[in-house]
Amino acid sequence: MGGFLDAILTVMQPYNLLALVVGVALGSLFSAIPGLTSTLALALLLPLTYSLPTDTAFVIMIGLMGGGLYGGMLTAITLNIPGAPGSVATTFDGHPMFRNGQGGKAIGWATISSIIGGVISSIILAAGALQLAKVALSFGPPEMFALTIFGMAAVISLNTDLTKSALAGIFGLILGTVGIDAFGDFRFHFGVNDLAGGMPLLPAVVGLFALVKVFQAMNTSVDKPTISFSSAETADTRMRLPGVKSILKRWKTLLRGSLIGTFVGFLPGAGGNIAAFAAYNVEKRASRTPEKFGQGAEEGVIASESANNATPGGSLIPTLTLGIPGDQFAAVMIGGFIIHGLPVGPLLFRDHVDIIYVIFVTTFLMNFLFLPIGWVGSMMAVPLARLRDTLLIPIIAAFSLAGLFAIAGTTSNILIALIFAIIGLAADRFGFPPAPLILGLILSSIMEDAMNQSLTLSGGDYSIFITHPISACFLLAAILFVLLPLVFDKRKAKKQQATRGLS
């Protein structure tokens, strides 16, 4: 307790509080702009932290991490453009709520869910980091492969047309094979050096969700508001927080999302995107009214945002205890430890426990800054979403293209995003969902590496995926997630036929 009290006093010092506010605000801003991420913000600011005190530097880093996961939901809800990959699942119900005149309510639920998910994960981080690190170590290549299969199955089963959803996911997996394979050979990059490192994720997200809107607007000659509300109640435009009774009513959804986010977060290579998709799918299966999901269900926003924002506590567990980054941001943050001369792993807990406590306290406190940031952000994002096409579309295009260029300082990301925008137009035309494609692209390299490592361990014996209990459970769950909707749809069709026959 003495270490925690000292850390609280350290973080509550005025310059550290200012550093936390700046970190969360910058992280939210970078994630809200299509094409930019908090990881990019950290990469840009990391050299500047060298001259700062160590505790202040890590306060800023943790603030960037939390803000980066939170800010993406603003554009996801208002514009149907996820500012970060982890906000893709939020578009499923957040944007329909906004179109139904409940934008402020959707942002309020997303904010409360983010706070609760972040608080729960930070408590788990502080209470059981070393113990949970042992669980993470038990996840070998077979378990990671099965987890990726489960993630793909969970997202594919969200859509009513399983065939098109599966094809979109497979296409994403194929795109993920571009670049260097496990044996160091180049493949499918067609001589384009910028693709040698693999198909970049951010241009794909920006192209499929942001630039698609630009092209669609170019195909229409009618200058209309970008968002056409389906409800007469359009006054709900500022963040509206749910009451205590409403929060208690949804406590199971909040707890499930938070635990799933923390669990997925501390698995190396996973992240907020996988956590959000998994929590959304679990909540849809657990709901008594699954047909409302995708139409503006509050539970969809709560599940995805609580899981997405619970990943920082989870991803910091393997990062701090084992030196294994839980996600891309944590990988860059390891550079911060190196810059400040700190070891990562058990030696950090032995020799620099004061920094550990500062990170724990900051991870907890940063969540409460989502309230003022969400309030201010909704005041800007909601009116922006109601602009006419001729005003909003150029803004979306400018920020998207500028963000893509800022990632690497080349035009290659812009060209890739334009290609994905064309793919998105074709997918929209023929009814293929973009979410499975994105998740397939994310999981492709993780799945391939885990499969190669598993087969190397087993000498080419595929039974390794079944003989490992955790792996077998994930594969069984994946099969059930795909088969159960088919069974329920057949039963529903038979009941409808029987009802028509009686009538």
User: What mean pLDDT comes out for the span 441-451?
Assistant: 83
State how far the Cα of 16 lies from the Cα of 194, in Å rounded to an integer.
Answer: 39
- The phi, psi pair for 180, rounded to 5°, reads -95, 130
Cα–Cα distance, 158 to 330 (Å, whole number): 30
374-379 long-range contacts, CB within 8 A, separation 24+:
374/70, 374/74, 374/107, 374/108, 374/110, 374/111, 374/239, 375/238, 375/239, 377/28, 377/32, 377/71, 377/74, 377/107, 377/239, 378/74, 378/103, 378/104, 378/107, 378/237, 378/238, 378/239, 379/238
Q: Which domain holds residue 85?
A: 2-502
- Provide the pLDDT confidence category of residue 78 given band limits of 50, 70 and 90: confident
Read off the pLDDT of residues 352-406 as tens digits, 9 standing for 90 and up.
778 888 888 898 999 999 888 888 877 776 666 666 666 767 777 787 787 777 7
Give the model's pLDDT for residue 234. 46
Per-residue pLDDT at 354: 84
Strand partners, 23: none
pLDDT in tens, 51-72: 888 889 899 989 988 888 888 8
Burial class (CB in 10 A: 0-12, 13-18, 19+), 390: exposed
- Residue 388, beta-bridge partner list: 225
Split at pLDDT 50, 70, 90, the class of 220 is low
Place of tokens 């994905």: 420
Q: Are 101 and 296 in contact (CB under 8 A)?
A: no
CA distances (Å), 34 to each of 271, 333, 379, 386, 402, in order?
A: 18, 22, 18, 18, 9
Residue 346's pLDDT is 64
- pLDDT at residue 233, rounded to an integer: 43
> Does residue 232 register a pLDDT over 50?
no
Per-residue pLDDT reduced to its tens digit, 396-438: 778 778 777 776 677 888 888 899 889 988 988 888 888 788 7
* Type of residue numbered 472: A
As a whole number, mean pLDDT of residues 334-344 equals 78
Tell me how far apart the alpha carbons of residues 202 and 145 are, in angstroms, rounded to a whole number: 23
Q: What percent of the chain lies above the pLDDT cut of 90?
A: 11
| Whether the Cβ atoms of residue 281 and residue 152 lie closer than 8 Å to each other | no
pLDDT (average), residues 457-473: 89
pLDDT of residue 388: 65
Amino acid at 85: P
Rounded to two decimals, what is the model's pTM? 0.71
Note the pLDDT tens digit of each residue in 111-140: 999 999 999 988 888 777 666 656 656 678
How many domains, in total, are found in the chain? 1
Least Cα distance to 240 among 76, 371, 114 occurs for: 371
